[in-house]
A and B are shown apart, each in its own frame.
Chain A
Amino acid sequence: MTPLLEVRGIDKSFGPVKVLHNVELSAYAGEVTALVGDNGAGKSTLVKCIGGIYPIDAGTIFFDGGPVAIHTPRDAGELGIEIVYQDLALCDNLDIVQNMFLGREHKRGLLLDEDTMEELAEKTLSGLSVRTVKSIRQQVSSLSGGQRQTVAIAKAVLWNSKVVILDEPTAALGVAQTAQVLELVRRLADTGLAVVLISHNMNDVFAVSDRIAALYLGRMAAQVKTADVTHAQVVELITAGRSGDLGLKNGVTP
């Protein structure tokens, strides 16, 4: 199976500080790939390189098997790569439909086509079995943290994204909302998208992921199938970069 998104040999430095060394990552359609690593391991930098926010110093990004050039967030968006950041980038003073179509509104002549947008937003949310939102004309400021996360994720689906990258979607949520977001993440992949989930919570990672990619000090320590590893092995990969036969040898990728 070819990965839908693959990066190979990515290097990235900020001035004299090298933050990514020869990093590889693969994400497959229909699967959740968890990206784990300690603080400062390079998770967010890697994601921002894929999203076209940071230019990469070396390496190649492959999409659907072919090499692509991503220079700006717009390039990433056009390929179908959507990144949901921790701060979500939703507008508090707009309602759910307006947020979901922000910047890509449907028009009928000179006017906005509210009916079509409402119908599409409704369809997307119900397609993801989102039942927590009462009205899609509700202002985003009145939503809970979990509901905001839901709207941000649904937006990615609405725009026909093929790869969705979620940066710590459950970090600020209570248990009940975390459960709902995790189930949504899983459904997203089950509908055929490639999902990359950044998380520090090992239970979240094991609950929904098919593969785990562990970054250690800017290097990809290992990419493994979740079904084949134990909790202890993943923790070792995160904290030491290696675990038994898995991981880095003498600090470098074998």
Chain B
Amino acid sequence: MRAGPSQEDIRRHNLGALLRHVHLGGPTSRAELTSKMGLNRSTIMALTSDLTAAGLVREELPRETGRAGRPSLVVRPESARVYVFAFDVSPDRIAVARVGLGGVILDRRETVRRRGVFVLEELTGALAGFARQMRRKTRDDTVCVGAAAAVSGGVRKADGVVTFGPNLKAEEAPFGEELGRKLGLGLPVSVGNDANLAALAEHSRGVGVAVRDLIYLHGDVGIGGGIIAGGHLLGGHDGYGGEVGHMVVNPDGRACGCGSHGCLEAEVGERALLEAAGRFGAGPQGRDAVRAVVEAADRGDIVAQEALSRVGDRLGLGVANLVNIFNPEMVIFGGMLREVYLGSAAQVRTQLALHAMGPQRERLRLRTSALGDAATLVGAAELAFAHVLADPLEVLARANT
């Protein structure tokens, strides 16, 4: 039986906590870190010099403080030196970014993806190819400390296998393992559900900073979600939590890819909107097609207006259910749901007024994503940085060898 954490555990924890402050909050002076972390000045100094020696942060004199006295040194993340690879796989698009410590997107590649086919070899090959291209352009003193991917599908917590992804056509795909092998960096690739990761991204860097209870809704071909309760992502028993797209909002409704009927995804997803607007099958797909419907509605096309208002009603019903169950402080609309919400807010909030309970909707804030299209990539990068923040020196030592 142990009495408590050892000296070494405490030091590791403090190093991670300090690095997290700088990673999320940007350049911070030692004095601010002292008051934010509640540690004394000499401890902060010892911690920063350890992190500086490891090349994770660097200290600089501030430009001007406007105050009297010797200025406190500012601790900055070594964004250009320490980086991770973030991958994003959605039905229409794959993207790879090189993201520096501190969350700076240093480099980014993306390409369209053909819908309806999922060949693991081909997909991971393309992603790893992009990563290699970007890696070749980096300086010699840079170091890659992690990699993670956001995937539009259900990811099993235990082994990172994409167990289902009706919109990707993926099934039981050992995606992380395969991508890790193709990358050949000797780093494991963590995998997460895209909406879950986007929720974390909005929570740590987006519109939901300092909001402990939020629900992020992600619209793509389908509808995904991430629920953050009390500051933690609700992962569920196996990691499939937050699949709000399969909440039934109309039992007699449209058939859903999951086999059920009237799921939020089937009633509000891209196909539902395009079919209702009489635009399915012909012309563009994806985000552009959704935008075109919203634009047509704005110009006075009554078919598009009708379609948008029907979709808005169903979306509002779904949000009302979520609000009643989780009592979030904020609901964030991301992906194509940003456009859908702004174009049908009257319907969405009408359904909320009718179906959400008074006390729950009283202080509820509805917002659109602040990170926009980058939300899923930023989320993947945060996942990749997670183990660096848990044990900075150990991870860096391993990456340097």
Contact = CB atoms under 8 A, between A and B. Distances in A.
Interface of A: 129, 174-176, 178-179, 182-183, 186, 202-208, 226-232, 234
A203 B345 contact: yes
Contact of B345 (A129, A176, A207, A229): A207
Contacts of B298: 174-175, 178
Interface of B: 291, 294-295, 298, 338-339, 341-350, 352-354, 358, 361-362, 364, 366-368, 370
Given A179-B339, A179-B342, A203-B345, A227 B352 contact: yes
Nearest to A225: B362
Most chain A CB within a 10 A radius of its CB, from B298, B346, B370: B346
12 contacts: A175-B295, A178-B298, A178-B342, A203-B342, A203-B343, A207-B341, A207-B345, A207-B366, A208-B345, A228-B358, A231-B346, A231-B347
A207 B361 CA distance: 15
Contact of A206 (B295, B349, B362): B349
A206 B366 CA distance: 10
B348 A206 contact: yes
Nearest to B308: A203
B343 A183 contact: no
Given A175-B295, A227-B362, A183 B345 contact: no
Contact of B346 (A176, A178, A183, A205): A205
A230 B352 CA distance: 9
Contacts of A205: 345-346
A203 B309 CA distance: 10
A156 to B, nearest CB: 21
B339 A175 contact: yes
A227 B345 contact: no
A228 B350 contact: no
B353 A230 contact: yes
Contacts of B342: 178-179, 182, 203-204, 207
A4 to B, nearest CB: 19
B90 to A, nearest CB: 20
Contacts of B370: 129
Nearest to A228: B353
Nearest to B293: A175
B361 A227 contact: yes
Given A179-B338, A229-B353, 19 more contacts: A175-B291, A175-B294, A175-B295, A175-B339, A178-B298, A179-B368, A182-B342, A183-B368, A186-B368, A202-B346, A203-B345, A204-B345, A206-B346, A206-B349, A207-B341, A227-B361, A227-B362, A227-B364, A228-B358
A69 B348 CA distance: 41
Say whether chain A's binding surface is mostly helix, strand, loop, or mixed: helix
B394 to A, nearest CB: 36
A76 B109 CA distance: 50
A226 to B, nearest CB: 6
A142 to B, nearest CB: 24
A176 B343 CA distance: 11
Most chain A CB within a 10 A radius of its CB, from B295, B344, B350, B370: B350
Contacts of B353: 227-230
A104 B368 CA distance: 34
B349 A227 contact: yes
Contacts of B367: 186
Given A175-B294, A175-B298, A179-B339, A230 B354 contact: yes
Most chain B CB within a 10 A radius of its CB, from A228, A229, A231: A231
Contacts of A229: 353
B294 A231 contact: no
Contacts of A203: 342-346
A22 B342 CA distance: 34
B144 to A, nearest CB: 27
A124 B263 CA distance: 43
A32 to B, nearest CB: 11
A129 B352 CA distance: 29
Contacts of A129: 370
Most chain B CB within a 10 A radius of its CB, from A178, A182, A202, A207: A207
A178 B353 CA distance: 25
A232 B346 CA distance: 9
A232 B362 contact: no
Contacts of A234: 346
A229 B362 CA distance: 12
A176 B295 CA distance: 8
Given A227-B362, A229-B353, A230-B350, A174 B344 contact: no
